[in-house]
A and B are shown apart, each in its own frame.
Chain A
Amino acid sequence: RKEVEQDPGPFNVPEGATVAFNCTYSNSASQSFFWYRQDCRKEPKLLMSVYSSGNEDGRFTAQLNRASQYISLLIRDSKLSDSATYLCAVAANAGGTSYGKLTFGQGTILTVHP
């Protein structure tokens, strides 16, 4: 079983739609969680961190479910410019030997069409 798993999609949604991605992780000691966005042929860029209580940034909402070991990303009112690959990333406790290294999911491809 992979450490971090995502549904690769692709997700094709119309503008204005709400879309949700899930990401499961296998290491119960994981402490830090992130969502990244990657445009075609570009580097990943941090979209948002995921906090235990859930957090929101404009149209984007991230949730963490430690009991079931998954994180989610919800995008409301999708825009054409949201088309990208969304990567989840998980870090084990930085106090151990991992030194904060992130393990990434394979990414979920989102295409928003007019």
Chain B
Amino acid sequence: DGGITQSPKYLFRKEGQNVTLSCEQNLNHDAMYWYRQDPGQGLRLIYYSQIVNDFQKGDIAEGYSVSREKKESFPLTVTSAQKNPTAFYLCASSVHGIAGEQYFGPGTRLTVT
């Protein structure tokens, strides 16, 4: 089945550690995205990539980094510079670039203590 996978579902880290969240898609989509969701709130865009080896900052990129070395993979690193990293992180992809319908992965819930 085609889809987006994010692993792990739950992730726990100590403050001051970098952590990388995985996102893989087999939908052959060009564009991929990372969103952050805090409790009771909507999604905010962290980074997006419309093509391999290229990515742009979203609304809340500070303290995060990404790479897009392969079409199917778009890992997100939450660095120690991110002040409040505890959140729910969602990865998405789309066929027609940033203006198109996006398909979402199951999400990773990150807790930093």
> A and B, one complex?
no
Q: Which residues of A does B touch, CB under 8 Å?
A: none
